[in-house]
Structure 1
Amino acid sequence: MRHWIGRKVAVYRATGIREPLKGTLMEWDEETECVRIGPKRIKVSFDNIAMIRPLPDESLPLKKARSEVHKIGYVMKKAVQFENAIYFKSQIMIWRRAKIVALCTTIVRHDEDQVELEDGRLLRKDKHMFVVRSRRGIR
């Protein structure tokens, strides 16, 4: 069942709670028999899972999400984060829904609605997820 990791899912619970937990499946831990649903990393035991269903990408809007931890670094949402990425020439990974638009690029400039990349492309902030690559774990 590890194929669910990193995907947006709805976890229906067996305890009778009607509302499913919606988010990204962050972790599938067979030792402790639980899963963690992000962005708040809610722990759900295997015994409490009735069903897991994939969610369409549009069901979790990007604008409502705060800057949360990503496997690669941090999702940028605020103007100061974009300005720091430009100033420090940080490596950025860019996603559009479930597809990678740019694996490793830098931002040249930005405004309220769009970002200009080093190769000249203009991308809209509301249509893409910008992840600044973190140096943690690199020796």
Structure 2
Amino acid sequence: MRQWKGRQVILYHGNNGHTQKVRGTLEKWDDTRKCVILGPKMLAIPFENIAYISMLPPGRERRSRHPAKLNSFGYIMSVPLQFDNAIHFQSAVTVWQDDQLIAYNIKLVSHTDHDVVLEDGQTLSKEGHLFVVRSLRGEL
């Protein structure tokens, strides 16, 4: 069952003759707590209550009701954690110098206390430029 981690499943569970069907993503197989964690609501279902688990057939996975898309507005990055998150999540960043657009929807590669490196190799100063990040709304 551990090979199903991250896959969407249908899990039948219950006790005293009452069985319920739950559909979700198998997030974790927890041997310590003796349960399965099923997402997206992170339900903990004890091993002893599980009657049957089956993987959803291809093409039957739950589709997002709200597919991910960029927000129409952005946030000015000013603290190091925001730059770290933009790099980690590969966020779309727009760079301005005064009223001139330097880069549009570009990704950041790295940053220091004073500089930022863009995916195209440019190194820009944090002090002389304005970095605007656009977050994703919806589900990937």
Scaled to the shorter chain, the TM-score interval is 0.3 to 0.5
- Structure scoring higher RCO (CA < 8 A, sep ≥ 6) equals 2
Identify, as 1 or 2, the structure richer in strand. 2
Max Rg structure:
2
What TM-score do you get using the length of structure 2 for normalisation?
Answer: 0.47
**TM-score computed with the length of structure 1 as normaliser:** 0.47
